[in-house]
Structure 1
């Protein structure tokens, strides 16, 4: 079996075994999937700009006519040299197109297949993991260490510097999607302009959103049962004029997201695997994992009903909105605290 762990991906792709003639790159982080596929494709040919050396194939077209991929992979280049075929993601089954190449690998071309979040039982993932001539590469959201590396590379590339505290602060504000993180850093570099160093105030002005962070703090406090943190976050948001209905709406969205995730856990998936698909900012990963452990599906269903009723009540009586929201949030927080004492 040629299946690797997520942390082994960079090393495996940098030192690709010649026996691997097909590489499946998959996962919930679409940006990272694309980045790794592009990097591998460039490294696998002499001239990435040559359309005969690097062939792009549409995943939907390959799924509609599975023989197209094998035909292209077995085409011998007119001028020799290395070739690579990069197949774009598709929601349609690709197993029929890939199976012939697993049975009889191309000797002329490296085939790179991009895919979304494939479950362990997915036929394409299973087939590639079992084949000796294929490599399956998982791509999950960036951890803080990965984000720190990306930040350092992009800041140096822009000819600037950043201290560790500012870098860690920036990493905490970025999400788990590689492309989105890069766009945010590029935007930050434009804002910094000619200044030699990236400062915390630059990050706060462009990437940081205090209201969003306080709202996230409130939501996580509710499901962690942290009453003191909830009280502080709610007081700050209320003082800033945030509507109680908006506050409850954020908690309701999290309750629905947790319920969906918890159902996946109940079906047999690991908590960390499920949370990895949610594309959360790094600081919220641990709190969400803890919430999934503490909250059962029935309790989350109860939470959705409770918050849904509270949202409706605030719409019907706006003058009592603050009191209604406070009561609902504290009721949920006590449920969260009870979940940790069970």
Structure 2
């Protein structure tokens, strides 16, 4: 069964009694890890108990199709539920999973993390239709989800946040849940109990984060500034920022640009579209985005999104990710230079 986004939190807190297999997949590795850990904590008293919990990898199963079933069928020493955690899985384990579905072991639950597959995967389709299985898609957080994560963390410490500081947080974090949580928790530590978070504090604490560097690369690409984009991309690579993080930032950036462009299609000028957009756009970004809206129509933004999506797929199919991303960014720059809004 496929778990709808609105039901995920409930599922993680109270998994159904007949659950045998749970698959976490998608583009956000941090969210996959966080949700899988939450489910495991709801299934067994101690996720570090070596007598009740077994950790295996997708490669282990691919090399021995019976390994998954044998691991799940092993009866724990104290008679409690057996938990099997599978990491780095892909469609190569589909046959082993099918065996478990057809003959589910007693008192065992298998939690699978598969960051490199999507809804077209054989594994996803198989577990979508399995009565004893569950699939949970894990994708980069949207602004609303990041804002809620920040509010939850800050409220635990009775911390107040200025509006412009929260706007900065929501527009610069979100590519990876664990990174976002880590950055927000860092702010909470800086503010302390009953503290107060300002914009200056946020930019000082998070200003050198990977998300900021990625945003700079994408903004330059959207403006058609090839030289600046190239320099910023090279700097990001030197600093160890993953090309995948840049391409995901690019997709999120152009998704926002698409919504803004649609607002212009309905009669708004760039300044009004930017000022009315929700969640609010960080003030330092407004001039660049307003200018970009004169270069990009909604249809042309869709073409850029298609090109960025191709780069994301290429980076997963054997092409070096830095090459795929660099080529896509160059293509976007060229689109921006030759395409002006009529």
Compute the TM-score of the two structures, normalised by the length of structure 2: 0.67
Match of 2:336 among 333, 337, 340: 333
TM-aligned CA distance change 1:104 to 1:142, over 3 Å: same
Of the two structures, which has the highest relative contact order with CA contacts closer than 8 Å and spacing of 6 or more?
Answer: 1
Q: How far apart in 1 are the matches of 2:177 and 2:163?
A: 20
User: Equivalent residue for 1:293?
Assistant: 302
TM-aligned CA distance change 1:91 to 1:283, over 3 Å: same
The answer to whether structure 1 residue 246 and structure 2 residue 249 are counterparts is no
Structure showing greater Rg:
1
Native 8 Å contact 1:32 1:178 kept in 2: yes
Q: How far apart in 2 are the matches of 1:206 and 1:187?
A: 8
Q: Within 5 Å, give how 1:271-310 maps onto structure 2.
A: 278-279=248-249, 284-287=254-257, 290=298, 291-295=300-304
* C-alpha deviation, 1:167, in angstroms: 1.8
Post-superposition Cα deviations, 1:56-94, rounded to whole Å, max 9, x if no partner, equal 223322222121110121122221223321111145711
* C-alpha deviation, 1:114, in angstroms: 0.5
Q: Which moved more, 1:69-78 or 1:46-55?
A: 46-55
The answer to whether structure 1 residue 40 and structure 2 residue 39 are counterparts is yes
**What is the CA RMSD across the aligned residues, in angstroms?**
3.9
Post-superposition Cα deviations, 1:102-150, rounded to whole Å, max 9, x if no partner, equal 1112221111011014233321112111212111110000011111121
SS of corresponding position for 1:42: helix
Q: How far apart in 2 are the matches of 1:249 and 1:67?
A: 50
SS of corresponding position for 2:340: helix
* C-alpha deviation, 1:19, in angstroms: 2.4
Native 8 Å contact 2:52 2:77 kept in 1: no
Q: How far apart in 2 are the matches of 1:108 and 1:129?
A: 21
Native 8 Å contact 2:218 2:253 kept in 1: no
The answer to whether structure 1 residue 87 and structure 2 residue 90 are counterparts is no
User: Equivalent residue for 2:183?
Assistant: 184
User: Equivalent residue for 1:217?
Assistant: 219
Post-superposition Cα deviations, 1:5-37, rounded to whole Å, max 9, x if no partner, equal 444432333342222210011011000001000
Q: Within 5 Å, give how 1:78-157 maps onto structure 2.
A: 78-90=77-89, 93-157=92-156
Q: How far apart in 2 are the matches of 1:218 and 1:74?
A: 54
User: Equivalent residue for 1:202?
Assistant: 201
* C-alpha deviation, 1:278, in angstroms: 2.4
SS of corresponding position for 1:111: strand
Q: How far apart in 1 are the matches of 2:114 and 2:191?
A: 36
SS of corresponding position for 1:136: strand
SS of corresponding position for 1:145: helix
Q: How far apart in 2 are the matches of 1:335 and 1:106?
A: 61
TM-aligned CA distance change 1:76 to 1:200, over 3 Å: same
Q: How far apart in 1 are the matches of 2:335 and 2:202?
A: 33
* C-alpha deviation, 1:158, in angstroms: 4.4
TM-aligned CA distance change 1:297 to 1:114, over 3 Å: closer
Q: Can you give the 5+ residue segments of structure 2 that lack an aligned partner in the other structure?
A: 235-244, 260-297, 311-325
* C-alpha deviation, 1:4, in angstroms: 3.2
Post-superposition Cα deviations, 1:193-241, rounded to whole Å, max 9, x if no partner, equal 578111111111122369855654343344xxxxxxxxxxx7xxxxxxx
SS of corresponding position for 2:134: strand
| Number of aligned residues | 276
Native 8 Å contact 1:41 1:54 kept in 2: no
Q: How far apart in 1 are the matches of 2:181 and 2:2?
A: 28
SS of corresponding position for 2:18: coil
